[in-house]
Structure 1
């Protein structure tokens, strides 16, 4: 399976799992406050992934010293600052306005990837991103925005910027163990949200509700984030983020049979726009002569991918991990802004 196909499947699977958590969250909100529920989702993901890491054992691709500045930056932005800013913003805006404003995360993620981290894009990719974001806006538009003060709006937009920074910094460590990355982010974000909810006097729900919240968080936030990290390493930040931005549509579709929500013209239009955007990304073909500079690093790899032809004392059959050297080379083949194709254009 090509790295692009692997990345697309990972990103879309992440979107499906995260999108499916939305109608489940609506059911749980009957008994749990939004702030506490966000914390339970995150903490359930972090705790569940920690157990998974213990059971599966070390694969040798854990974070190393040079990864930690990027990882700590991602955790601080997305796991601490983002949730705090969002909750502050939620206190002064309606749910419909918040849903609309949260679409800014995909925009900030792409803009940072393109203009700050210098990730390659062309008109086709930009149009695909626009179609997906416009589809998300159509889906969340309620005909008006009820805002009493501009500061909550700025807080929500700042939260989206924090998550955009988080996504781009996480891409820098995406060759490391995705279970470790997602577990750390889940535990930090979970602890942050739960503590804040307790500070404002939120009531603790029943044990059954706590357990269900943890399970939904493990799948919809934890496993989803693991898959998203895998997509980052194969597709780059903006492309992975674009596929993941279809999650609200997935949640809306699931809510039709699960919660009895109507199949509205807005839902159909949003689905059509997102389908166009996804098609523009999936049908991209980017190929030109490019040069790889010498690079030594360690990550899980297989020799069949065309970029890992180094010699071994023995011939491994499948994916394996060790420190290896990429010699300088120049060649032409279809590629994407993955971790081995960060060259300038």
Structure 2
């Protein structure tokens, strides 16, 4: 199995697990504050790990041309998306919102294919639709909510939040070759500060330390580490495929709730599992191969010396195993199986 696929599924598993794990806390933390603390745990934890890794604060490694993409991703994914979702939740039921959230992978894929020109064949489209169908089945309400609002503003706000996260995913893809810890940490920190500020504005109180500590830890793992893995998956798979794999998160979260919390299993769960397993299988068995051209390119990321990385090093630089540095790709034309990764973003 491709390593990037493992990253994407692991990201989905960690994010999906964060919901039942947060439920285990059994706290009365308001939803907006809970979201803020989870994001804050993500941002603070990842930036701390980065400081430990680099033995102090180090430069981001982003080029001047990459900063606008990251700032855009933070604005859409860390500020506009969460705010729109929280507004939408006040005007619609949780069941409707859960169904609407299945729009995110659809919009991510559409933007990737239409705007950013990622490749998509019928097998990938069918796989994505099967995974999304599983998400719809899994989140389908068992009974109509009596308190459901008939206002169109609520669903529209949730749909706008999905669009924001779809834009975020595609913009993050543009900088996915850079330091994943910095990218994920910056996004988590800004999203956490925004959501916590909104929560305090709405009247939320300070959270006790006994609740704060495990919440930040769950945020670090379920949002932070998950986002790092998501960025690494974007690097190797592109936005559409990564979004499709990541949309299995609700199913993986439900599976963890069943195994860990002993929750009951419904027929809808197994139907959703069948759809998602079929969709993932279609993606895993994809084979995309044709003659393509690589243009001259310079960037920085962790790599080994394969057919795409044939460059010289200074005598004092070790090239044994994976290593990271700025390197130049020369123009080359060849034929081999590939994904729309950071080296294969050509038109078809």
TM-score bracket relative to the smaller structure: over 0.9
Per-residue CA deviation, residues 176-206 of structure 1 (Å, 9 max, x unaligned), is 0000000000000000000000001013332
Query: Could you tell me which residue of structure 2 aligns to residue 5 of structure 1?
Result: 2
Q: How far is 1:26 from its partner?
A: 2.4
- CA contact under 8 A between 1:82 and 1:159: conserved in structure 2? yes
RMSD value, Cα: 1.5
Alpha-carbon distance between aligned partners in 2 of 1:333 and 1:319, rounded to the nearest angstrom? 22
Unaligned residue ranges in structure 1 (runs of 5+) = none
| Inter-partner Cα distance in structure 1 for 2:163 and 2:14 | 23
1:18 equivalent in alignment to 2:12 = no
Query: In the alignment, what sits opposite 1:85?
Result: 84
3-state SS of 2:205 partner: coil
Q: In the superposition, relative to structure 1, how do residues 61 and 325 fare at CA in structure 2: closer, same or farther (>3 Å)?
A: farther
Q: Which residue of 2 aligns with 1:329?
A: 332
Shift of 1:64: 2.4
Within a 5 Å distance, the mapping from 1:143-158 to structure 2 comes to 143=142, 144=144, 146-158=148-160
1:316 aligns with 2:315: no
- Determine the C-alpha separation between the residues in 1 that align with 2:159 and 2:25: 26
Secondary structure class of the residue paired with 2:65: helix
Alpha-carbon separation, structure 1, partners of 2:217 and 2:319: 37
Q: 1:203 aligns with which of 180, 202, 205?
A: 205
Alignment of 1:33-112 (within 5 A): 33-57=30-54, 62-112=61-111
Aligned counterpart, 2:272? 270
Segment of structure 1 superposing worse, 23-32 or 82-91: 23-32
Q: Separation in 2 of the partners of 1:147 and 1:103?
A: 20
Query: SS of the residue aligned with 2:220?
Result: helix
* Segment drifting more, 225-234 vs 315-324: 315-324
Distance 2:257 2:20 in 1: 6
Instruction: Please say if 1:117 is aligned against 2:116.
Output: yes
- What is the deviation of 1:60? 7.5
Residue 259 of structure 1 deviates from its aligned partner by 3.2
What number of residue pairs does the alignment pair up?
341
1:31 counterpart = 2:28: yes
TM-score (normalised: structure 2): 0.95
CA contact (8 A) 2:60 2:182 kept: no
What residue in structure 1 maps to residue 262 of structure 2? 260
Partner in structure 1 of residue 129 of structure 2: 130
1:138-287 map, 5 Å = 138-143=137-142, 144=144, 146-287=148-289
Q: What is the deviation of 1:344? A: 0.9
- On the 8 A contact 1:171/1:229 being kept in 2, the answer is yes
Task: Give structure 2 stretches of 5+ with no counterpart.
Answer: none
Structure 1 residue matching 2:302: 3-state secondary structure = strand
The Cα shift of 1:254 comes to 1.1
Which whole-Å CA distance do the structure 2 matches of 1:32 and 1:202 have between them? 8
1:105-150 Cα shifts (integer Å, max 9, x gaps): 1111111101110000000000000000000000000154733200
Determine helix, strand or coil for the equivalent of 1:205.
Answer: coil
Q: SS of 1:170's equivalent?
A: helix
SS at match of 1:303: coil
In structure 2, how many angstroms separate the alpha carbons of the residues matched to 1:331 and 1:59? 37
Q: CA deviation at 1:295?
A: 1.5
Segment drifting more, 255-264 vs 16-25: 255-264
TM-score, length basis structure 1:
0.95
Post-superposition Cα deviations, 1:148-172, rounded to whole Å, max 9, x if no partner, equal 2000110000000000000000000
Alpha-carbon distance in structure 1 between the residues aligned to 2:31 and 2:273: 27
Indicate if the aligned counterparts of 1:60 and 1:321 stay in contact, CA closer than 8 A. no
Q: Is the 8 A contact 1:291 1:331 kept in 2?
A: yes
